[in-house]
Structure 1
Amino acid sequence: MTLDPQEKPLAPEVEKIRKKMLYLLIASSVIMVIALMVILIAIIYKINQTTLELEQTSVTSSTISVPTNATILNSSLSGNQIMLILRLPKGKRIIKIYKLNGQLISQLCLKGIN
């Protein structure tokens, strides 16, 4: 530290406190930089993991059997299940719920609805 000719030197006790404050500033700055680096590494790691998971998911195909001459009125997808509302040739309506692998879970007959 250079002194201007008009400045008086600090007392030894004040100089000790100034040095301690300078060391504290340097130490806290180093800790802050390390913490920011750790956070950035964690974010980059998480982004890479998500990208790898998206690449590993494969497209599966399955066949769902629908009665002959049935008309699909509505379909809905929820999680790994699909619901189909069908109109049969005689005007009867049914709801079929399947897993995405094609396995029938439930079949409901709707009566009194045209």
Structure 2
Amino acid sequence: MSETHPDEQDEKPLDPEMEKVRRKMVRLLGISISIMFIGLMAVLAGVVYKIMSNDQDVMVTAASDLQIPAAGRLEVEADLPDGFDVAQVSMNGGLLLFYGQSADGASQVLLYDIGHARIVAVIDLK
């Protein structure tokens, strides 16, 4: 059996070319870790900023993307067609449904989007 001598087990110094490569790799490792750390801190700062600024400005309802100011109330004026007689109103999320009769007496349903302050559908009933 072969017996190894203690001096053969010790690490021998690298040749100068390999030492240069090792130093470059260690420097690259340090730079890479620094860049990743800075990026992680930037993402975390963005998340904290978004959470902190969103809670104070507006409250978003769960049913739609309608944004209601947290400090006040939302005031919107619905511009319905002239002569439209409202018989019934229903709400779902940020949408209002006006059921009634138009100026010529036809039954109609108007679908009004509160968030965009506009009529999104006019349905004629026969």
Shorter-chain TM range is 0.5 to 0.7
| 3-state SS, counterpart of residue 99 of structure 2 | strand
**1:19 pairs with one of 18, 23, 27:** 23
* TM-score calculated relative to the size of structure 2: 0.51
Q: Where does residue 44 of structure 2 map in the other structure?
A: 40
**2:56 pairs with one of 52, 55, 61:** 52
Work out the percentage of aligned pairs sharing the same amino acid.
31
Q: Structure 1: which 5+ residue stretches go unaligned?
A: none
* TM-score calculated relative to the size of structure 1: 0.55
Number of residue pairs aligned between Structure 1 and Structure 2: 95
| 3-state SS, counterpart of residue 82 of structure 1 | strand
**1:28 pairs with one of 12, 32, 37:** 32
Once superposed, what is the RMSD of the aligned Cα atoms? Answer: 4.0
Distance change in 2, residues 1:99/1:8 (3 Å) = closer
Per-residue CA deviations over 1:51-92 (Å, capped at 9, x if unaligned) read 122268122478x9xx7xx863x524575x6332149xxxx8
Question: Structure 1 counterpart of 2:32, which letter?
Answer: S
